[in-house]
Structure 1
């Protein structure tokens, strides 16, 4: 046993020596120049730039993403990807990744920012490799703490698609999380993006790929999809960051989608210095002002569009209670442009009698959706338009836009519950809600 213990101690000593040698070599590659830290890698000179990450509710930066800037031997800027593409092997990749992170941490802490996250990009393969090197990881945590940056202010960004290729990723996540740092999954929404993996990994932050924002511009349908994606990520327990915000209009789309954090040229370009802001950011204040104006206009437009349908559904109650046929009672509703149909439901949400449709409804319905047109003994009790109506009898209810099962069209339902002969009834009217 004693001999075995001695061998173990010898291995530990060798590992510790290797870790310290690596750390010493890294520090030998960085120097301080006029208050800023720079690194040398071959013929390339590396510096740090930081792009602010804002919180909509707080209206100020809550974090900064560190980005490397590269110059050649003549001081000319070159794309950072060029420096990384020139890496000869994996060991050199690990070295360069660690060098960049050490450089960024020094440039961040030297600016004495005490209440913001530092987002650090890390190559996926390096993340898995580094997280499983227990001694090196522990020493790195020690160095960061000594510099005055607690690990709970570190956010490691890893591209999301690595989870589809590497089974050891989850183990690496647990090892990294044990240090107290946060994990951000980058570029979510493209490639192999999968909500199941989000449930398993439980990242603290999910960064949506900027391509989602591009697809949302000019499309109300995609705006709704983006909002639903954000809502589901919130259900997974993650903060949602949307990057690539370039204009006030982009910021409005992000706010409408209920994202938590935003990043992009609309709020700040990457720069060596952190933003010295006291109080509310003027860029964010402008976004909130535009949001207030836009919401007021949307409410007015929404009200103008729905008021005739709300009035018409309310007018149908008296003739229905007098025993008039559904089509006759809902004649005013069915004549409005965009009306789809009216239907009467019992207290269990079952349809009573035939539906009433506008006179100009085409007879040749899309045959692809005919199975959904035959209602039979369908029950609609779980639908919001039914539940809300029975909870507030006599008050007209309006749903959010949703996909109707009748022809797979976007619609809004206006509904109202009433009593007739001691039985509860719910009158529903659907109207088209076109989206592009």
Structure 2
């Protein structure tokens, strides 16, 4: 069956658009393999697994790449900024030294007069065991002008040390990290961390498999600009001008949604600051001396179920005044800070101290104490000739 599929070139290439929100256009296509044999659809993973068993993986890989390049040429001649993402079988890279002279796809590109700069070679580095071959593969094609993308990054066995080895141009964050990202704080933080690291290293980031506005807006907030997923378009055999116009409309819509969310977020932050500013003022108005502060704050603590912890810091020494008041439902392994503990390297200390308003509100974080998603509100107060900072750990979402 596989031999017949290859000989008769029974595979078809589908393209899935990759969009750039910043430029409001389709930036690239990813080439995906589809096959129908005798009326039956054969999933790509099954197709490639069968070709490996028949020792025909190289032939199938070359066929799909050849057909993808031929199909792409039709689109390239209409838009010479368009880019094509080509997948490379990991088996091919592991055996690169054996097949390095079989650069038929490079010859095809040159014959069609398409610059290598319009191609991105995708690799799944966690499936590649031959690091010497991997490094040689990447350096060879980068010298020719091709870009290299790490696919499915952030899951499986992908390791950060491979970034130093491969020096990719693009990192594709795996679709699984965008699943339920609205409620999954861990995935949210992983996406933000990968994006920040990549941008600091001069690597472009692509959010893969995005299916809803929230995932895209979070990606945009994390400085991700390139996206691929069902929200914009499913893989298809042909992409016409109407399809492109539909995608552009979606890009414009998501841009408006992103701006609206940011403005709403700013207003929400102002509301939170205003609310806890009043609460902090009310608490501190009852404190006449630091000696009695702990008892007063303890009484106030139990009036507010949304406050997980309260602690007071001496502005001058950066040391804590009294022990932390904390929720009863804390992790047994967590040790709350105590009287005399240092806070001089904590943002809620030095930013509050330096800010003109004397107020600080942290981003969301997962509390060590309870696992709740929290923010820390801090405000500077004066008590006689003494300056101190009141900190409130606020529960934003329960665990």
**Per-residue CA distance 1:149-202 (angstroms, 9 max, x = gap):** 211221111113124x33322232222222221111112222212223234322
Instruction: State how far apart, in whole Å, the 2-side matches of 1:295 and 1:243 are.
Output: 22
Residue 83 of structure 2 corresponds to: 117
Q: Of 325, 340, 365, which residue of structure 1 is paired with 2:292? A: 325
Q: Of 344, 353, 365, which residue of structure 2 is paired with 1:381? A: 344
Structure 1, 225-234 or 82-91: larger mean CA deviation? 82-91
SS at the partner of 2:278? helix
Q: Of 170, 192, 203, which residue of structure 1 is paired with 2:135? A: 170
Residue 57 of structure 2 corresponds to: 93
SS at the partner of 2:56? helix
| Partners of 2:324 and 2:336 within 8 A in 1 | no
Residue 315 of structure 2 is aligned to residue 349 of structure 1: no
Deviation, 1:423, is: 6.4
Alignment of 1:257-406 (within 5 A): 257-276=222-241, 277=244, 281-315=248-282, 325-327=292-294, 330=297, 334=301, 335-339=303-307, 340-351=309-320, 353-355=321-323, 357=325, 361-362=327-328, 366-369=331-334, 372-375=335-338, 377-406=340-369
Residue 28 of structure 2 is aligned to residue 59 of structure 1: no
**Matched pairs, number:** 390
RMSD: 3.4
Residue 79 of structure 1 corresponds to: 43
Structure 1, 306-315 or 83-92: larger mean CA deviation? 83-92
**Per-residue CA distance 1:320-368 (angstroms, 9 max, x = gap):** 68767334675796333322213223334221x303637xx54x85432
Alignment of 1:417-436 (within 5 A): 417=380, 425-436=388-399
Instruction: State how far apart, in whole Å, the 2-side matches of 1:55 and 1:333 are.
Output: 50
Instruction: State how far apart, in whole Å, the 2-side matches of 1:327 and 1:378 are.
Output: 15
Alignment of 1:170-209 (within 5 A): 170-209=135-174
* Structure 1, unpaired ranges of 5+: 1-28, 30-38
Residue 96 of structure 2 is aligned to residue 127 of structure 1: no
Instruction: State how far apart, in whole Å, the 2-side matches of 1:202 and 1:435 are.
Output: 40
* Structure 2, unpaired ranges of 5+: none
TM-score by length of structure 2 reads: 0.83
Using a 3 Å threshold, how does the CA distance of structure 1 residues 302 and 416 change in structure 2: closer, same or farther? closer
Instruction: State how far apart, in whole Å, the 1-side matches of 2:338 and 2:298 are.
Output: 22
Residue 104 of structure 1 corresponds to: 68
SS at the partner of 2:179? helix
Instruction: State how far apart, in whole Å, the 2-side matches of 1:411 and 1:146 are.
Output: 58
Residue 114 of structure 2 corresponds to: 149
Residue 8 of structure 1 corresponds to: none
